[in-house]
Amino acid sequence: MITYQELLKSGENELVSSNISDAELDAWYLLEYLTGMSRAKFFLDRDMEVSDEIKDRYLSLIHMRKEHIPLQHITGTQEFMGFDFFVNENVLVPRQDTECLVENVLPFAHGKKILDMCTGSGCIIISLKKLEETAECTGADISKKALEVAQKNAASNEAEVYFKESDMFEKINGKYDIIVSNPPYIKKDVIKKLSKDVQNEPIIALDGGKDGLVFYKKIVNEAIDYLKLGGYLCLEIGYDQKKDVMDLIKENLQYINTYSKKDLYDNDRIVVTKVGG
């Protein structure tokens, strides 16, 4: 026989042996996900016997995590801006970094028509719609499977957001007040060096081409045609991409008042620019 406490410990040991960095936390989250047990209930019941069924199911979840499947892809959920988002292998897990983008767009989002380019799970545009009285909100993505996830998230969060399958601006019509984007921005060569967890996320959500700038080039050059005069382009960037992205913007004389902001960890994280006269 095995108790809940022993099961948790064996899960943790298994994860440690596979070098999973947050082994203790992940072992707990998987037990919580499987049993629905709160931490308090666990402390009350930890010496109770676990059924064979729970034990087998728990160990198979631990096995998935040992294979470096991201925790959130196993549990199917990630919190972002205080909302729950469903995630699977077709979308990038929403990052805390990206909350910086949402927080900096919110102050001027009231009454605005907004497009989220490369929407993925829809976390950015759904959060904006929930947290501010915006006008029409649209999320675009090349991946049909990602858009299915985004649709599901809009429904579960009761947010009225439209989604469009589009290779960048190909199928986009009309003019927007704000275009936001957290595009794939990792240099192709760097992806191989990232953690195995990240490598199990969809490659098309990460790969920014040889210089990591492929999508910024397209967005910066094409957004002009889809932004109203005085409209804003708001981009998440990698910690080392501020100069590169600002230079791309400078090449386009219609953009004015460009600025960047840092995230909570003091990394450059977003660039905002405006379409001037």
Residue ranges that bind ligand GLN, judged by CB under 6 A: 92, 94, 98, 118-121, 123-124, 182-184, 205
Distance, in Å, from the CA atom of 230 to the CA atom of 119, rounded to the nearest integer, reads 23
Contact 135, 111 (CB under 8 A): yes
Query: Hey, how many other C-beta atoms are within 10 angstroms of the C-beta on 100?
Result: 19
Nearer to ligand GLN, 27 or 71 (CB): 71
Cβ 88 to ligand GLN shortest distance, Å? 13
Nearer to ligand GLN, 7 or 146 (CB): 146
Nearer to ligand GLN, 11 or 184 (CB): 184
Cα torsion 80, 82, 86, 88 to 10°: value is 20
Which segments of the chain are extended strands (E)?
A: 77-80, 83-86, 114-117, 137-141, 162-165, 176-181, 227-236, 255-262, 268-275
Cβ 111 to ligand GLN shortest distance, Å? 23
Cβ 94 to ligand GLN shortest distance, Å? 5
Nearer to ligand GLN, 61 or 118 (CB): 118
Nearer to ligand GLN, 61 or 128 (CB): 128
Query: Hey, how many other C-beta atoms are within 10 angstroms of the C-beta on 262?
Result: 13
Give backbone dihedrals phi and psi of 144, rounded to 5 degrees, phi first: -60, -40
Cβ 76 to ligand GLN shortest distance, Å? 15
Nearer to ligand GLN, 11 or 238 (CB): 238
Cβ 207 to ligand GLN shortest distance, Å? 9
DSSP string, 103-157: HHHGGG-TT--EEEES-TTSHHHHHHHHHS--S-EEEEES-HHHHHHHHHHHHHT
Cβ 215 to ligand GLN shortest distance, Å? 8
The single residue listed with the structure tokens 């953690």 is 195
Task: Specify the 3-state DSSP secondary structure of 266.
Answer: coil
Cβ 46 to ligand GLN shortest distance, Å? 36
* Cβ-closest position to ligand GLN: 120
Cα torsion 178, 182, 106, 255: sign: negative
Q: Which of 277, 232, 233, 274 is nearest to 257 (CA)?
A: 274
Nearer to ligand GLN, 123 or 178 (CB): 123
